[in-house]
Amino acid sequence: TFGKYSGLMRRAIELMEIEQSDKILDLGAGTGKNACLMAKYISQDGEIVGLDISDEMISQFERRCKNLTNVKILNKRIDQPLDYDGYFDKVFISFVLHGFPQDARMQIIKNAFNSLRAGGEFFVLDYGEFSLDDMPFYLKIPFKIAECKYAFDFIKRDLAKMLESEKFTVIDKYSLFGKYIVLMKARKNEL
């Protein structure tokens, strides 16, 4: 993202329209940088729970968020069933979904759906759908060098259809870096 990551992340989090009392699940929470940005919008009535499995990421998250009493990280796989049945108002995943094989991606989407209350929203910040052949060389070369093998499959898939196949209603799609990086907003409808 050529030095634009922080700005992209701030914009994505603004677009989430976080309420002070929101309970937010951060899938693949990493270093906690995103959780700290989201925490600025919530009060003590709100809560952020990050999930990650990397000891190094968890350690960085704990250091970064140590003064935030309503923000925590748990060592949990996001591609295995979770037990948060309808607890969260929002679920956020940022540049993580593309790093899994398709069956695991679908489990992660299912986990987001099951973790949300009725009317809750799922936000996916990741690569959009595009052809690598049509990508400008100055973007294509870093993508080919830096990305995992699953990303090459992900960019060929229709994220909206993936979400809809797990009962989400896609509400909006924000282009944050042309067609290459998008924020998808989907809602769990009332049952």
What pLDDT, in 10s, does the model give residues 13-68?
A: 999 999 999 999 999 999 999 999 999 999 999 999 999 999 999 999 999 999 99
Exposure letters 90-122 (e unless 16+ CB within 10 A, then b): bbbbbbbbbbbeeebbebbbebbbbbbeeebbb
pTM, two decimal places: 0.94
CATH of the domain at 49: 3.40.50.150
The tally of domains found in the chain comes to 1
pLDDT attached to residue 3: 56
Greatest CA span in the chain, whole angstroms? 48
For residue 94, what are the domain limits?
5-188
